[in-house]
Amino acid sequence: EVQLVESGGGLVQPGGSLRLSCAASGFSFSSYEMNWVRQAPGKGLEWVSHISSSGSTIYYTDSVKGRFTISRDNAKNSLYLQMNSLRAEDTAVYYCAKGAFDSWGQGTLVTVSS
């Protein structure tokens, strides 16, 4: 059974940083592209970032370019999202998702507020 477990969320002040992690199990992690998706309070789903299976190809949505960095460690079956220069509008539940979002974690809440 595919399992994705996010961690690392919390309350952070504007301009601060957080590192999200996603622990994967139940599938061959190194064979799949991975994504981060977020949902702000009262809003819809928003794709944040994509990383290929090898980590060689990376994409970001415009609003996080230059501030967020996606990475993965295939030896540890883990996906990461380093978030810097956080803004109030980054407040959301962040989900990691496998492939074309065929499996999702339960999400981790990031709140950016002073």
Partner 1 sequence: QSVLTQPPSASGTPGQRVTISCSGSNSNIGSNTVNWYQRLPGTAPKLLIYSHNQRPSGVPDRFSGSKSGTSASLAISGLQSEDEADYYCAAWDDSLNGWVFGGGTKLTVL
**Contacting positions for partner 1 (CB under 8 A):** 35, 37, 44-47, 50, 59-62, 95, 100-107
At closest approach, how far in Å is the CB of 16 from partner 1? 25
**Residue written as token pair 């959301």:** 92
- Span between the terminal Cα atoms of the chain, in Å: 40
Of the pair 33, 82, the CB lying nearest partner 1 is at 33
As a residue count, the chain comes to 114
At closest approach, how far in Å is the CB of 51 from partner 1? 12
If we measure between CA atoms, which residue out of 4, 29, 101, 73 comes closest to residue 82?
Answer: 73
At closest approach, how far in Å is the CB of 76 from partner 1? 22
